[in-house]
Amino acid sequence: MLDIKMIRENPDDVKNKLDLRNEDPAVIEKIFEMDKSRLELIHKTETLKEERNKATDEIALMKRNKENTDEKISEMKKVSENIKMSDEELKKYDADIDNLMRYIPNLPHDSVPHGKSEKDNVEIKLSGKKKKFDFEVKDHIQLGKDHDILDFERGTKISGSGFALYKGKGARLERALINFMLDEQGKNGYKEVMTPVIVTRESMEAAEKVPKFEDDMYYMEKDDMFAIPTAEVSILNIHRDEILKSEDLPIKYCGFTNCFRREAGSYGKDTKGFLRVHQFNKVELITFCKPEDSYIEVEKMLSHATGILDKLGLYYRVIELCTADIGFAATKCYDIEVWSYAENKWLETSSVSNCTDFQSRRAQIRYKKMLENNKTKTEFVHILNGSGLATSRLMVALLEANQTMDGNIEIPDVLKEYSGFDKI
RNA sequence: AGAGAGAUGGCAGAGUGGUUGAAUGCGGCGGUCUUGAAAACCGUUGUGGCCUCGCGGUCACCGGGGGUUCGAAUCCCUCUCUCUCUGCCA
């Protein structure tokens, strides 16, 4: 969530930045007015409470002196009534403001390119060599079928469309990829964690996924719990309601989980094979850091994600998302896309974002900042997340890029010790 | 899943419905003493909101939410979590 103080003090700035995101800025005006009324109400309520607190002390004193308190008590009954009403009104304001705030995205950083749609995203890096094939390339579905390593029909039989079944060397290669990526990110300084994949509503809210994206989640009504769309949710919640030690920052985690997405309303687009699935595997990177470091850390995280593709020898590009396309919680986003030789297009395999204090404010993740006068101030940490990487589309690119004329698939050198075989 | 017990400041642990934002101990920080350290002694030690340039004032917070009351850490309801016993299970 945004800082209400920022809206209070700089409403125009906030409105301008929302406009850059193609978001309607009118809501800010509404919140600004509601906040004003709310502050007045707080003042009124607290004055009443002060009166009550004083009278309560007096009553206690009078009782001790065996004086008659009937009049005083009946007088305070009215005050208490007023407090009750005032409190209720205040609670309504809080809820109304919060309901609006939950749908307002983070504000783009000044460095983010302006744009109206994803067409205005900027390619900032192109890496690796695009291969030339002197034979007709097969897509990952055909390759998967030929070698009996990917079985989308049976995946569908088990769980419906959008679920994959990995078999034999396919399953093994997936496991190899995951292990390889976890090891690499460990070397990059991320502590490996294995988290729950079913989380409470509270955890979802802390990560700012709910209520805005509730329909995109698998939801277990009986327990009011959600299947995570990304390990970001569970890793972020490791430190919910905590005050971190300044000297421990930055704190970095990597974790592999299954990720679950209903992808509501996305039918008909990229539904082939692995291009869009309801369950996929991902190694996630999360950094908790001091605010002044987050834009340096986001560059580091990006390099940690691309490092995997470099080692796998894949052709990829990095694009910086424009103001209209950055994620809800983010101020700045990079997407990493790998080339699909069969589809003849780029496939998103990672997204690296700086979410600044947007999530930490809701999740109450703070640290003690040392001030110049030797005092400390509790401040929200900045939180970054990135895929390092997601395997499903990576698998597409990997299989397609490494196919040979005889229909086999070469395993990249770095994966051989993990997979235990040289080719499929 | 059933029965019972519990949840209080960084930790441990008191707390008859009314000078309790909370005793006491430990820890932390500052100081006295000491060549230095330890010990001892003295002092200090939660978070957030609102008002204020500041001093400061004020409100809220004893697991979460609701209720009773002039007044709740204390009484009632409810949820969550922890512990013990039983059941089930990997």
Query: So what's the ipTM on this one?
Result: 0.89
Per-residue flag: A131 CB under 7 A of strand B: no
In the predicted structure, residue A199 carries a pLDDT above the cut 90: yes
Which pair of structure tokens corresponds to residue A174? 């997936």
Task: Identify the helix (H) or strand (E) that includes residue A89.
Answer: helix A70-101
Q: Which of A31, A274, A5 lies closest to A144 in space, CA to CA?
A: A274
Summarize the confidence of residues A48-55 as an average pLDDT: 94
Mean pLDDT of A364-375: 79
| pTM across the whole model | 0.94
Three-state secondary-structure class, residue A347: strand
**pLDDT per residue as tens digits for the range A154-169:** 999 999 989 999 999 9
Residue A275 has pLDDT above 60, yes or no: yes
What's residue A373's pLDDT? 63
Closest-approach nucleotide to residue A45, Cα vs C1': B59
For A200, half-sphere exposure in the C-beta direction (CA atoms, 13 angstrom radius) is: 6
Both tokens assigned to A101: 């705030």
Residue A322 has which token pair? 């424009």
Report which of residues 367-406 in chain A place their beta carbon less than 7 angstroms from any atom of strand B. 376, 378
Beta carbons of A389 and A350 less than 8 angstroms apart: yes
Residue A177 — very low, low, confident or very high, per pLDDT cuts 50/70/90? very high
Residue in the block written with tokens 């502050």: A39
Which tens digit of pLDDT belongs to each residue from A302-346? 999 999 999 999 999 999 999 999 999 999 999 999 999 999 999
User: B31 C1' – A247 CA distance, angstroms?
Assistant: 27
Flag residues 40-59 of A with CB < 7 Å from strand B: 42-43, 46, 49-50, 52-57, 59
Residue A128's SS3 state is coil
pLDDT value of position A269: 62
Our measurement of CA A46 to C1' B22, in angstroms, reads: 22
Closest C-alpha among A185, A147, A173 to residue A415:
A173
Q: Which of A235, A192, A178, A243 is nearest to A392 (CA)?
A: A178
**Which secondary structure element, helix H or strand E, spans residue A340, and what is its range?**
strand A332-340
pLDDT band at residue A265 under the 50/70/90 scheme: low
**Separation of CA A378 and C1' B36 in angstroms?**
36
Dihedral angle of Cα A297, A299, A300, A306, to the nearest 10 degrees? 150
Q: What is the mean pLDDT of residues A108-125?
A: 96
Going by C-beta distance under 8 Å and a sequence separation of 6 or more, which residues neighbour residue A321? A112, A118, A121, A327, A333, A334, A335
- Taking the C-alpha atoms of residue A39 and residue A44, their distance in angstroms, rounded to an integer, is 9
Q: What average pLDDT does this structure show over A270-296?
A: 92
Residue A6 beta carbon within 7 A of nucleic strand B: no
CA distance A9 to A111: 22
Place of tokens 């809206």: A7
Least reliable range by pLDDT among A35-44, A58-67, A187-196, A366-375 = A366-375
Whether A268 has a pLDDT exceeding 70, the answer reads: no
pLDDT of A42 reads 94
A79 touches strand B (CB under 7 A): yes
What is the average pLDDT score of chain A?
93
A233 CB neighbour count, 10 Å cutoff: 28
Half-sphere exposure at residue A114, Cβ-oriented, CA atoms within 13 angstroms: 6
Which residue is closest, via its CA, to the C1' of B70? A73
Lowest mean pLDDT among A49-58, A60-69, A351-360: A60-69
pLDDT score of A216 more than 60: yes
A157 beta carbon < 7 A from strand B?
Answer: no
**Confidence band (pLDDT; 50, 70, 90) for A201?**
very high
Alpha-carbon dihedral sign for residues A412, A415, A416, A420: negative
Strand B atom within 7 Å of A210 CB: no
Question: What is the band of A395 on the pLDDT scale with cuts at 50, 70, 90?
Answer: very high
- pLDDT value for A266: 61
Taken in order A383, A356, A180, A149, the sign of the CA dihedral is positive
Range of lowest pLDDT (A19-28, A101-110, A260-269, A389-398): A260-269
Torsion angle defined by CA atoms of residues A286, A289, A294 and A297, in that order, rounded to the nearest 10 degrees? -60
High-pLDDT (> 70) share of chain A, %: 98
